[in-house]
């Protein structure tokens, strides 16, 4: 049973007990209010922390990896200014990575999306629109986003994508249901760079390499001008420390396409 279902069951039982005590024994109301507030806080935290697997099962790392491998993933592309630079850096080190692409960006830059694949990298879904309101979409609307992206990738790339990373890493019951119905594998991360909000490339580099372990999955964005430089520093570090960079599907031993 998923965490949120267990939490809901516990909170429901406690809330019913509190209501009964309020009705039958003049129990104060404030404990019930505390219970409700705690439920909202836990639900919000679970929604914004994909690593919790609160609403859905997601894969964040491979603790059982037998080689010294890690995966680097890029979100929000393809971007015509940054993605080619990222691909050049990867090619320079003969490294492979994974790109969670937005459908509308693939539609705008199909040749760039094709280049990602022909260069030996993996592409996964990152919704069609990456709307700021994605976390409030209904099940049907999330399904539309998934289906629109897959129809596009089948037509343009001859690939039906099986890997999905929700925009902003936000999860909820609607996203959980839609990804299950679509047969998608949800991919998270356990090394977040915060490269979209951190201006210093050195800080980003230190954050993603501190206590780096085999099996880790790093999150970067190929929409960020700092990304190519950080990536080059990272790859130098990896090869100096005998790490091997692989695609996320290779790390997790799963299929990326149907």
Active site residues: 75, 221
Neighbours of 132 (CB within 10 A): 9
Please return the burial class of 37, using the count of CB atoms within 10 Å of its CB with bins 0-12, 13-18 and 19+: exposed
Distance CA 9, CA 13 (A): 6
Three-state DSSP at 103 gives helix
C-alpha closest to that of 203 among 235, 224, 225, 233: 233
Contact 146, 179 (CB under 8 A): yes
- Tracing tokens 């609307």 back to the chain, one arrives at 141
Distance CA 60, CA 65 (A): 13
Q: At what angle do helices 139-157 and 173-182 cross, to 10 degrees?
A: 40
**Cα distance between the two ends of the chain:** 27
Give Dmax over CA atoms of the chain in angstroms.
73
């Amino acid at each position: 049973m998923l965490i949120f279902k267990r939490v809901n069951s516990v909170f429901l039982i406690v809330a019913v007990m509190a209501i009964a005590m309020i009705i039958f024994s003049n129990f104060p109301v404030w404990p019930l209010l505390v219970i409700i507030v705690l439920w909202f806080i836990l639900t919000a935290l679970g929604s914004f922390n994909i690593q919790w697997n609160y609403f859905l099962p997601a894969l964040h790392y491979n603790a059982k990896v037998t080689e010294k491998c890690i995966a680097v993933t890029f979100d929000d592309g393809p971007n015509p200014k940054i993605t080619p630079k990222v691909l050049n850096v990867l090619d320079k080190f003969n490294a492979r990575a994974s790109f969670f692409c937005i459908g509308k960006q693939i539609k705008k830059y199909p040749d760039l999306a094709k280049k990602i694949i022909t260069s030996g990298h993996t592409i996964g879904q990152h919704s069609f629109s990456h709307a700021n309101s994605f976390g409030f979409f209904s099940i049907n609307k999330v399904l539309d986003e998934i289906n629109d992206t897959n129809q596009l990738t089948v037509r343009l790339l001859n690939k039906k994508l099986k890997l999905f990373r929700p925009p902003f890493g936000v999860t909820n019951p609607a996203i959980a249901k839609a990804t299950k119905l679509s047969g998608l594998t949800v991919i998270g991360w356990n090394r977040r760079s915060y490269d979209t909000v951190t201006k210093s490339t050195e800080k980003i580099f230190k954050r993603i390499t501190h206590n780096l372990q085999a099996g880790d999955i790093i999150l970067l964005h190929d929409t960020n001008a700092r990304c190519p430089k950080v990536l080059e520093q990272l790859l130098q570090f990896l090869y100096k420390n005998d790490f091997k960079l692989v695609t996320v599907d290779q790390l997790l031993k799963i299929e990326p396409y149907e």
